[in-house]
Amino acid sequence: MTKQSTTRKELKAETRQRLILAAEDLFNELGYNATTLEAIAKRAGFHVQTLYRHFDNKVQLAMSGEEEQLADFTVAIRNPDRASTTIQFWRDYVNTAATNVVIEDGGQAYRKALESYRDTLALSPALARIGRDYRSLLAEFLEQDVALVDAAERKEIARLIAITLWGANEHVISNHRRKAEFDLVQEAVAIIDRVENLYSHILKPV
């Protein structure tokens, strides 16, 4: 790859990131529905046609951060050198994500983002699909941790644990959204511990 092509790739990535950050700011300020693509492009310092070279529509732009996070999660959980169990991996991942959310402002910006995104019907299908992808990845690797001989039963139990882990995480996020005084990090980790204890009798010993 030439230096020129590398620079072009870096500029493209920088432009994309500026658009994503501008969108996040405006969604938090105005709400998803009141934010236009023209306003996002202007906030980022570009013409709207530049935005369209990176994103087809507002839904795609709004979900770009979630998509990137899912892509990073996919790479990490599929890492062949990963030594932790799937629940240990999920606990560490959630702990890091929750810590990053609250480290600057106690999670206020994240709470605003939840208010903007979670009640927006246009985003519901994309959010549901991303949730399914997380659950599928968790279920896939939980099969390796379930101490059952029958393959079909092992697969079903792994799917059930994955659904429980994801549902528990959604419950914690919902509580963070509704409660001003809420320890997101502590509660997010504690609920994973409770799920692990619930299924400990069918999980392989660590």
| Per-10-residue mean pLDDT, the chain, length 206 | 68 93 90 93 96 95 93 96 96 96 87 81 92 98 96 97 97 91 94 97 91
Of the CATH numbers 3.10.170, 1.10.357, 2.60.40, 3.10.50, which one belongs to the domain with range 63-202?
1.10.357
- How far is residue 93 from each of residues 58, 69, 84, 106, measured CA to CA in Å? 28, 11, 11, 19
Q: What is the pTM of this model?
A: 0.89
What is the sign of the dihedral through the CA atoms of 156, 157, 162 and 168? positive
Q: Where are the domains of the chain?
A: 3-57, 63-202
pLDDT at 2: 55
pLDDT at 5: 58
177/95 Cα distance (integer angstroms): 17
> CATH number of the domain at 3-57, please?
1.10.10.60
pLDDT at 3: 55
